[in-house]
């Protein structure tokens, strides 16, 4: 299991949310509190962020080393500013390579995406069925071997199939599709997903079995006014809300929050 973090709101320096909180992603990498599988998140990390003023594609910084051992990260985080970011620390599923092609967040045009979860026996179960559903462009764009990137490919496929579809509708359709595939091939999955286009933040908490991985959200904390944070585990003491199981949370451009059942 990985640990996810999403932020949207007022422009901040990245270290304010990535390194300074008492239970930051750095601490969650070696001392997570709510992991349902695994003990550490030491198989690399990644950060994706948007320029706070220019409407351009997002930037990413990734490493296959544990986040606590990256000497460059503190300096980058004190320099970079953003109003929207997606970050993760990784615990690789057994059998999946620890390399940059498998490191999250994944990107496609203006999208950032991260996944905490798994597809049971992915290479032997849903690898081929998922790829069979993809259009050629999306199929060819897959660089790695993870179940995470293939779930992202399903979302992109939905977005390309209908021009005016929203992020949350594409996410909803993907989750329904994934559930049907899992039932057909009799495998379990967990899919806590985090998706952004730089203007909106969409996430879900979903799994075919219990326990469902944890996911929390927080709005307008005194330390982060005019902002929404979504995280696998609370970063600090505050009025965190646990997202209900099998739900989608949508954060709009004006930071309005909508929660829908899957």
Residue 174 counted as domain residue = no
Residue 187 counted as domain residue = no
Rounded-to-integer distance, Cα 164 and Cα 147, Å: 27
What's 96's domain CATH number?
Answer: 3.60.20.10
Rounded-to-integer distance, Cα 143 and Cα 130, Å: 15
Rounded-to-integer distance, Cα 73 and Cα 76, Å: 5
Residue 41 counted as domain residue = yes
Residue 130 counted as domain residue = no
Residue 163: predicted pLDDT: 86
Residue 94: predicted pLDDT: 67
2 is catalytic: yes
3-state helix, strand, coil in the chain (%, to 5): 25, 30, 40
Residue 211: predicted pLDDT: 87
In the set 2, 77, 84, 204, the catalytic residue is 2
Residue 122 counted as domain residue = no
Mean pLDDT by 10 residues, the chain (262 residues): 94 97 95 85 94 97 95 96 97 78 96 96 96 97 96 98 94 97 97 98 95 96 97 97 97 97 92
The count of structural domains within the chain is 1
Residue 158 counted as domain residue = no
Residue 46 counted as domain residue = yes
Residue 133 counted as domain residue = no
pTM (two decimals): 0.96
Residue span of the structural domain in which 59 resides: 3-117+193-261
């Amino acid at each position: 299991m990985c640990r996810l973090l999403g932020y949207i709101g007022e422009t901040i320096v990245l270290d304010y949310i990535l390194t300074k909180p008492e239970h930051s992603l750095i601490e969650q990498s070696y001392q997570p509190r709510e992991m349902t599988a695994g003990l550490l998140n030491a198989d690399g990390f990644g950060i994706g962020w948007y320029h706070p003023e220019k409407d351009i594609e997002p930037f990413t910084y990734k490493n296959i080393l544990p986040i606590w051992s990256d000497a460059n990260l503190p300096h980058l985080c004190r320099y970079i500013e953003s109003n929207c970011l997606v970050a993760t620390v990784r615990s690789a599923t057994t059998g999946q390579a620890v390399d940059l092609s498998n490191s999250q967040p994944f990107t496609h045009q203006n999208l950032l995406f991260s996944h905490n979860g798994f597809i049971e026996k992915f290479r032997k179960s849903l690898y081929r069925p998922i790829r069979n559903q993809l259009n050629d462009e999306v199929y060819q764009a897959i660089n790695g071997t993870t179940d995470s990137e293939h779930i992202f490919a399903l979302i992109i496929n939905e977005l390309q199939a209908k021009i005016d579809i929203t992020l949350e509708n594409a996410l909803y359709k993907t989750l329904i599709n994934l559930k049907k595939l899992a039932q057909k091939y009799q495998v379990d999955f967990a899919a806590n997903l985090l998706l952004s286009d730089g203007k909106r933040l969409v996430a879900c908490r979903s799994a075919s079995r219990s326990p469902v991985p944890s996911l929390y959200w927080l709005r307008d904390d005194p330390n982060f006014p005019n902002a929404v944070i979504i995280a696998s585990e609370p970063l600090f003491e505050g009025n965190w809300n646990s997202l209900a199981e099998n739900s989608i949370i949508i954060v709009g451009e004006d930071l309005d929050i909508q929660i829908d059942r899957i």
